[in-house]
Amino acid sequence: MKTVIRPMGNSQGVLLPKPVLEQAGFARDDVIEIEVREDTVILRKPRPEPRAGWAEAAARVAATAEDRAWTGFANTGDEALKW
């Protein structure tokens, strides 16, 4: 499929046909990432940040004392183990 780069306000752009948007899983008002590699423009849904939300989840666990669930599993008997 070919298309033309068109003026859009003070910028230039490309209109993506509805079937292309559907195939990519994009919908109106979606936030997307744009990347250029060599001579290729890549559009994709934002990738989640690694460990996003972990700090908040850890704080919630600490606040509710759920982290104490493992306190009954001490390493009793480990002194008899030989490495």
Per residue of the chain (83 residues), give pLDDT as tens. Answer: 889 999 999 999 999 999 999 999 999 999 999 999 999 999 999 888 888 888 888 888 878 765 565 555 567 777 777 77
pTM listed for this prediction: 0.53
CA distance readout (Å), 67 to 39, 51, 76: 50, 19, 20
On whether the CB atoms of residues 25 and 19 are closer than 8 A, the answer is no
Amino acid identity, position 25: G
Domain assignment of residue 46, given as a range:
16-67
**C-alpha of 23 from chain center:** 20
For residue 34, tell me if it sits in a domain: yes
**Does residue 4 form part of some domain?**
no
Q: Total domain count for the chain?
A: 1
Residue 40 lies in a domain: yes
Structural tokens at position 43? 């559009």
